[in-house]
Structure 1
Amino acid sequence: MGKLLAILAVLCLKSFEFSYSTDIINCYWGTWAYYRTGDGKFDASNINPRLCTHLSYSFFGINDSGEIVSLDTWLDYDLGFISKAVGLKRQNPSLKVLAVVGGWNQGSIKYSSMAGDKHKRQNFVKSAVNLLSKNGFDGLDLDWEYPSQRGGNSHDRANFVTLLRELKKAFDPRGYQLTIAVGAGEKIASVSYDIANIVPYVKFINLMTYDFATASDGKTGFNSPLMAIENSIIFWLNHGAPANKLVLGVGTYGRTFQLSDASQNKPGARCLGGGSAGTYTRESGFLGYNEICLNKWKTIFDNKNDSPYAFSGDQWVSFDNEFSVELKMYSAFSHGLAGVMIWSLETDDFRGKCGQSYPLLKTINKIMHK
């Protein structure tokens, strides 16, 4: 779609009434951003809880016995980050605060072992209930990346369903919500998830519709191209997930690349690896939107992928801006999805250094509530 056609499509779509199932805006919070320096430092005081329906506190892990454990007790308890997160409900009484277990760095092996062992599953479920009840959480988000992959086994698909069923049985009498974050694309989802049998046990499913290209591909590519998102949504719908349980993922960050030849800077150009680490995030191959928007790089909107990219010298980044987020919103919600989630609060321009604070999250709110 050309840029002019894309703009016209947005204008046309604005004239339609969208049927939002639940108006979910799920905001993931990577609590380790507290350790970032300068304007990248982030804590509960930087959160506007009125911009979210759910706050997903990330991450907890598990031990070898399958019990949920804190990954940073000093942050979670000594500094009181959990109580501060739950305390945000005083500003927005309808806010739901979820404890998130898992994440990429936790891997898959421990979760595979836990899900395949009756006693370890019992430990997990019991510790989940204890974690939620003792800290005032409203539910649990399980982010196992990924069943049957990264050291897991073929039984993980079935065991994941069993685990969710046992969690729901324990949660329902207490009114706790159970949600999951999943690999969105067919390549991951077809291996990891028995989609139709997962659906009865979860409140909603967070589709991680980003990371479609990284520097490990050996070439530049788009973090979250619209067509890949569309294909992911259709895959999940066709395999038994109802639209009113699917939540679209929006990344508030970009994937970066170091170009092999600075003069070859179009999508698909060869790269040597991840781009230079950012001032705040300090991770090669990754920049927060709050870092990208401050850069004076040449920026181009790619019409084919409905996403912007930017470059300077041998540095190249694919990301989302306010316009591409609007396109994703209108396109995805034409499917009647339940809502949107962001990964994550602390990499949006939360201080408003480039304009208004939380520009991407506020774009989501604007479209959701228009």
Structure 2
Amino acid sequence: MGKLIALLVILSLSALITGERIVNCYWGTWANYRSGNGKFDVSNIDANLCTHLSYSFFGINDNGEIQSLDTWLDYDLGFINQAIGLKSQNHNLKVLAVVGGWNEGSAKYSSMAGDWNKRQNFINSALNLLRNHGFDGLDLDWEYPNQRGGKWEDRSNFVTLLREIKEAFAPYGYELGIAVGAGESIASSSYEIANIAQQVNFINVMTYDFAMASDGQTGFNAPQWAIENSINYWLNQGAPANKLVLGIGLYGRTFQLSDPSQNWPGAPCRGVGGAGPFTGDGGYLGYNEICLNNWQTVFDNNNAAPYAFSGDQWVSFDNVLSVQWKMDFALSKNLAGAMVWSIETDDFRGHCGESYPLLKTINRKLRW
């Protein structure tokens, strides 16, 4: 009986640990403007598939204050309030406000982080945003300190900024997360990793975009070896495993082949692939677009990732199998969980099978 009780305790603890893993769903709210089956709004979100919903994006002004980037969508259409309302469907859901993103650049954030007054403007506006709307925390996605118009002092200033935010958030219990560049080349230039890790609840590691058409050849968006190298680098630099959240891209990077008969990884390309019917951007296809294409698909075991091609079009992406491999790695390293960029490009309507196949795969591995 004693052995049985001990086994039940172990199983219960295992379930508890598994249940606490993060599944952070970034949501690009501009998907509301997509046409047809690509249109995505709050009604399309299954709140039970996420522990965190990251509402993207807010920006900042030249004084460092947080501002809406789409007031009509955020306020007139009521997207913020509707997002907060999802907590009625999942009482444990945390809804975070995400500030930054690629389009915001780095210069304004560099200026803000290096100026005490602007930092206070940022922090006070963050507190107002969270309090006034019922957000549970903030995700700061500065892409990237000391790059894209930044300066070397950004590295230490970023630590200072995060420490001051943490102190301001403490009385209210707000969570603080960051999204960071994954690979060593970006991370070593942008972050004092051990120091920033002390200031935040979790770190969303953007383990994707490892190959682009600008490289001049086809390549994998998120090969397993690159993900493992990136996470191991963050761990070795002092980031605790229980704060690292592994990024999964629910999209693919596309390439136009220079010669359609050369359609393997590393083949020459002449530029980005054609735009998809939903996302509408060259070089990028959502998984909900890729799965509808009747392209020849190959799973590359060396990279633990699929690619597909048709004519001169080539795409690298993640599917259920490659996501399973990535989750097994996250579990083997005892990481905090996984995040997705972004929820609206999964097959959320289930046109290729079950709805949200990639996000559900993550949940089956980490939470269910």
Per the TM superposition, whether the score is higher than 0.5 is yes
Letter in 2 for 1:310: A
Distance 1:284 1:75 in 2: 25
Alignment correspondent of 2:223: 225
Give secondary structure in 1 for the equivalent of 2:221. Answer: coil
Q: 1:227 to 1:328 in 2, by over 3 A?
A: same
TM-score (structure 2 length as normaliser) = 0.95
Q: Are 1:344 and 2:342 matched, yes or no?
A: yes
Q: Which amino acid aligns with 1:288?
A: G
Deviations 1:281-312 (Å, cap 9, x if unpaired)?
00000000000000000000011100000000
1:127 alignment partner in structure 2: 125
Partner of 2:114: 116
* Aligned equivalents of 1:244, 1:331: Cα separation in 2: 14
Is the Cα–Cα contact under 8 Å of residues 230 and 332 in structure 1 kept in the other structure?
no
Whole-Å separation in 2 of the counterparts to 1:330 and 1:169:
35
The equivalent of 1:297 in structure 2 is 295
Report the aligned-residue RMSD.
1.2
- TM-score (normalizing by structure 1): 0.95
- State the shift of 1:22 in Å: 3.2
2:138 maps to 140
List aligned pairs for 1:325-336, cutoff 5 A: 325-336=323-334
In the alignment, is residue 78 of structure 1 matched against residue 70 of structure 2?
A: no
In 2, the alpha carbon distance for the partners of 1:142 and 1:279 equals 31
Q: CA deviation at 1:21?
A: 8.6
Aligned length: 355
User: What does residue 159 of structure 1 align with?
Assistant: 157
Q: Do the aligned residues in 1 keep the contact of 2:19 with 2:367 (CA within 8 Å)?
A: no
8 Å CA contact retained: 1:18, 1:333? no
% identity of equivalent residues: 72
Contact kept? 1:297, 1:312, Cα under 8 Å: yes
Q: Deviations along 1:214-257, whole A, 9 cap, x unmatched?
A: 11111100000000000011000000001000000000000000
Tell whether 2:238 aligns with 1:240: yes
Output one character per residue of 1:258-293: Cα deviation in whole Å (capped at 9) or x when no partner: 001111100001111110000000000000000000
Q: Give runs of aligned pairs for residues 55-204 of structure 1, distance below 5 A.
A: 55-204=53-202
Q: Are 1:30 and 2:34 matched, yes or no? A: no
Report the Cα distance in structure 2 between the residues aligned to 1:186 and 1:270, rounded to whole angstroms: 25
What are the Cα deviations for residues 319-357 of structure 1, in whole angstroms up to 9, with x where unaligned? Answer: 000000001100222000000000011000000000000
Q: Which runs of 4+ in 1 moved over 4 A?
A: 16-21
- Deviation digits for residues 185-231 of structure 1, max 9, x if unmatched? 10100000001111111000000000000111111000000000000
In the TM superposition, what is the alpha-carbon distance from 1:369 to its structure 2 partner?
2.8
The runs of 5 or more residues in structure 2 that have no matched partner are: 1-13
Distance 1:21 1:235, change over 3 A: farther
Q: Which amino acid aligns with 2:71?
A: T
Aligned to 2:263: 265
SS of the residue 1:28 aligns to: strand
Q: Which has the higher contact order (CA 8 A, sep 6+)?
A: 1
Gaps of 5+ in 1: 1-15
Shift in Å, 1:17: 9.4
CA pair 17-177 structure 1, distance change in 2 beyond 3 A: closer
